[in-house]
């Protein structure tokens, strides 16, 4: 919304939320989220044509277009628990819009939603306010965190789905298209029917996640055979039909979208009697879980099959660099795996505050596919096993091993010689993001594991014959 305000000075944008602390933060000097470039955009427009307010109903009543960007988490109980999207917030937003509207409105789905949500929303709106015309559009967002502003300034495409079959639907599509046309070239604005737009968002995230699971599955085979996953990715990505992006092996993908959207896709397939398709996509998540547990197993088996009481430095906790977001970060599962093996963790992340790290590690993990139950590590165990510190040198001092779990740039240029000198020997580095210079670190004396790379001779001899 801030970018729309920046690019369209003639349009007044009001961002509303029921949370007072959140709106207060958006109106303050310190914005509530870390996103490179966002401060600048907000500062340029705030108070001009961009406003943050708790007056939800008043602003919605006055608006011509309402973008609904509420949370659509995975349902945690009831029908479809663990897979279906929870549309509680969406439904109450739609009811509120119907209640307060006195003039026609275009209601835009910005949140990622299951296919056919627009139909349900349409019913809620039109049945609760009979005198007013509502047009529903689906306008899914494709920005990635950390590069949000650049992605919005220069998007690969903008997708607008609407009721193309009616003149009023076409008019609504054009109204939204005209807004984006202020800065996005016409040919990059794709207009489709509602269902195609809704499904395209789920499909795009599923395809992206699938690429990562594909390369991560290859990384396991690389380690077993002596191939180097970076070389394999490079060679594969040179095929113009495949392309080079999103082929970096990692400890696993995280973020608020991939897992949630695939689970949702799986649920929709099951509901539509397509179990084979559902199972196909489920596998993308299973490989992601496998990759995280494979990393923990590799670490423990390399360190004489025990990390009990050993200090492990965790470098990076967010799900990717340049964000403080920890939703579904692989670091949660890796840290929990190490805590279960009774390691002592010293965690450092440049952007994630201590209280967020503790909250994430204390939260029970749902494992719906396996047992339908939750795996809980005692709160006391978490408190006793984790310390959060403020820099990488403090984290690594006296540590038996270092785990790189987020690819923050600062981890590439650390003084690893100094770090090595402050660690008991053998000193290990387990790089879950392939950012360290393996050759240089081995020269210093480290035993280095890097995802999908030829194994250190030391690690080979420590691996159990059968995994």
Site residues for ligand UDX per CB under 6 A = 141-145, 205, 208, 212, 246-248, 250, 253-255, 257-258, 319-320
150 vs 271, beta carbon nearer ligand UDX: 150
34 vs 258, beta carbon nearer ligand UDX: 258
**CB neighbours (10 Å) of residue 245?**
9
Residue nearest to ligand UDX (CB): 255
Minimum distance from CB of 213 to ligand UDX (Å)? 9
Q: Is the preceding omega at residue 150 within 30 degrees of 0, hence cis? A: no
- What is the β-pairing status of strands 105-109 and 65-68? parallel
> Dihedral through CA 457, CA 461, CA 466, CA 467, nearest 10?
-60
Q: How many Å is the Cα radius of gyration of the chain?
A: 24
Among 191, 222, 257, 335, the active-site one is 257
What's the CA gap between 330 and 284, in Å, rounded? 15
Minimum distance from CB of 205 to ligand UDX (Å)? 6
Minimum distance from CB of 248 to ligand UDX (Å)? 3
Contacts of 321 (CB under 8 A, 6+ apart): 146, 406, 407, 408, 409
What's the CA gap between 343 and 358, in Å, rounded? 16
180 vs 258, beta carbon nearer ligand UDX: 258
What's the CA gap between 358 and 323, in Å, rounded? 17
Q: Is 257 in the active site?
A: yes
Contacts of 90 (CB under 8 A, 6+ apart): 68, 70, 72, 111, 113, 117, 121
80 vs 155, beta carbon nearer ligand UDX: 155
Minimum distance from CB of 128 to ligand UDX (Å)? 30
Minimum distance from CB of 158 to ligand UDX (Å)? 12
209 vs 401, beta carbon nearer ligand UDX: 209
Angle between helices 354-362 and 330-340 (to 10 degrees): 70
Say if residues 133 and 168 touch (Cβ distance below 8 Å): yes
Residues labelled as active-site residues: 257
């Amino acid at each position: 919304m801030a970018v729309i305000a920046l690019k369209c000075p003639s349009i007044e944008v009001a961002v509303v939320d029921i949370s007072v602390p959140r709106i207060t933060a958006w109106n303050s000097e310190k914005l509530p989220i870390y996103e490179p470039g966002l401060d600048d955009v907000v500062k340029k427009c705030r108070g001009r044509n961009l406003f943050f307010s708790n007056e939800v109903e008043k602003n919605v009543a006055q608006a011509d277009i309402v973008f609904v960007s509420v949370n659509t988490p995975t349902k945690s109980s009831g029908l479809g628990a663990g897979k279906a999207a929870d549309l509680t917030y969406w439904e109450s937003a739609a009811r509120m819009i119907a209640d307060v509207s006195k003039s026609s409105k275009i209601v835009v789905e910005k949140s990622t939603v299951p296919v056919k949500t627009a139909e349900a929303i349409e019913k809620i709106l039109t049945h609760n306010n009979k005198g007013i015309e509502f047009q529903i559009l689906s306008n899914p967002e494709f920005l990635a965190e950390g590069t949000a502003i650049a992605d919005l300034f220069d998007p690969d495409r903008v997708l607008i789905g609407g009721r193309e079959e009616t003149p009023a639907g076409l008019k609504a599509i054009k109204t939204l298209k005209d807004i984006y046309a202020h800065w996005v070239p016409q040919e990059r604005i794709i207009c489709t029917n509602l269902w195609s737009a809704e499904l395209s968002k789920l499909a795009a995230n599923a395809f992206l996640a699938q690429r990562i699971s594909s390369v991560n599955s290859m990384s396991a085979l690389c380690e077993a055979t002596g191939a180097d996953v970076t070389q394999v990715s490079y060679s594969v990505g040179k095929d113009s039909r495949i392309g080079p992006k999103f082929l970096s092996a990692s400890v696993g993908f995280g973020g608020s979208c991939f897992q949630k959207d695939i689970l949702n896709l799986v649920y929709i397939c099951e509901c539509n009697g397509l179990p084979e398709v559902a199972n196909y996509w489920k596998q993308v998540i299973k490989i992601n879980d496998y990759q995280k547990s494979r990393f923990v197993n590799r670490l423990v088996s390399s360190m004489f099959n025990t990390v009990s009481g050993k200090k492990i430095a965790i470098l990076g906790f967010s799900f990717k660099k340049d964000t403080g977001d920890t939703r579904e970060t692989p670091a949660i599962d890796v840290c929990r795996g190490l805590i279960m093996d009774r390691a002592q963790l010293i965690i450092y992340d440049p952007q994630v505050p201590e209280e967020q790290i503790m909250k994430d590690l204390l939260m029970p993990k749902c494992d719906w596919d396996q047992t339908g139950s939750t795996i809980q590590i005692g709160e006391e165990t978490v408190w006793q096993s984790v310390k959060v510190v403020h820099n990488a040198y403090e984290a690594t001092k006296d540590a038996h091993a270092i785990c790189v779990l987020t690819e923050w740039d600062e981890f590439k240029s650390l003084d690893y010689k100094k770090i090595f000198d402050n660690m008991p020997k053998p000193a290990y580095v387990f790089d879950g993001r392939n950012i360290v210079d393996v050759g240089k670190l081995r020269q210093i004396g480290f035993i280095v594991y890097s995802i999908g790379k030829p194994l250190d001779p030391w690690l080979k001899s420590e691996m159990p014959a059968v995994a």
